[in-house]
Amino acid sequence: MIKPHGSEQLNPLYVQDAAAREALAKEAEGLPSLLLNSAAAANAVMLGAGYFNPLAGYMNLADALSVAEKLHTVDGLFWPVPIVNLTSESGIEAGSRIALRDPNVEGNPVLAVMDVEAVEVVSDEQIDFMAEKVFRTLDPEHPGVATFKGLGRTLLSGPIQVLGFSYFESEFPETFRTAYQIRAEIAERGWNKVVAFQTRNPMHRAHEELCRMAMDDLGADGILIHMLLGKLKPGDIPAEVRDAAIRKMVEVYFPENTVMITGYGFDMLYAGPREAVLHAVFRQNTGCTHLIVGRDHAGVGDYYGGFDAQTIFDEEVPAGALELEIYRADHTAYSKKLDKVVMMRDAPDHSKDDFVLLSGTKVREMLGNGIAPPPEFSRPEVAKILMDYYQNL
């Protein structure tokens, strides 16, 4: 199986031994505590699950700035996005051991225990520098920029031990999986070549066929449909609705033992190209050999060019930095001429009118009015789940 990023073995930061975990939880109740923001909590979940291998905890300021500027830590580890614990709280001292509390679960239980190696004040200029490098904009209307700039100016760095996976295990027991659980299942299924499909949306016909195209082109053993389960921007479809729609699509339209439906506990960054690279890093950690990167991958609005998330792998990712490879996808749509879904680049003789193309706004309007999109665009079983959701808003 493909090696994890940056190490020979995966090193999840979740304390897997039950007795050790219980002892740590007991210790945590007596420690000073910090209520995390959702972004720092999501980072802890990803560290615990092994997705952010080989990181041992939150980055210090030097590493965060280096990653933002050069896509590697001071020591040279390739990494595309700062993994930080920014807070507005004061009074925490370097050298202390603290309990990190979960902002997303009632009662704010302890999510992790942190050994604070450094406490650094980040200037507004440094925050702007990191934001501009990661998001390619400082526009306050960009949801990722707005979130990042609102996290606080005190940066706590150091290793963590993780006690749980926030609300993801309880709310999505069938879907949430750690990187080490996915690696184990891939091995159990006997898959060698595995293609990851990233989604924060329901999957329409074009997405479904794109997975098939990638499998066929690469001769892959299976597809990992890997959906984001954390926080999104207003207006995005909730995870439980997406989960139901994707499960129905796979159940009806894919052969058995060709698809794993899983999810990960992270908040969407909307960082376009940089987030695409982060997706590649942590899909390698799950054991996938390929990641589908399509048009406007992890984008929002008009902040990124349609294929910037592909060209970053040519222009900024050093050769050999990743073992995983990307599968480059074009805009995919149903061709009326050919009576099937194709990548638009593969149909140079087509005009726009030869494709079934619907905007997101138009689809939402149809669903809200109880009108199913045409079957060339959306499977009827999927459309019904989405119609039920939109009509109950």
Q: How far apart are CA 336 and CA 143, in angstroms?
A: 36
Catalytic residue among 21, 200, 212, 328: 200
Active-site residue, 201 included:
yes
Beta-carbon count within 10 A of 252 CB? 11
Q: How far apart are CA 236 and CA 363, in angstroms?
A: 13
β-bridge mates for residue 176, sequence order: 263
Coil vs helix vs strand at 64? helix
Q: How far apart are CA 99 and CA 237, in angstroms?
A: 33
C-alpha separations of 348 from 209, 305, 335, 343, 352 in Å: 19, 21, 12, 10, 11
The 3-class SS string of 267-315 reads CCCCCCHHHHHHHHHHHHHHCCCEEEECCCCCCCCCCCCCCHHHHHHHH
Active-site residue, 200 included:
yes
Distance from CA of residue 345 to its chain's centroid? Answer: 27
Q: Which two tokens stand for residue 59?
A: 């980055």
Q: Which two tokens stand for residue 296?
A: 């406007």
Catalytic residue among 153, 189, 201, 328: 201
Name the residues annotated as catalytic.
200-201
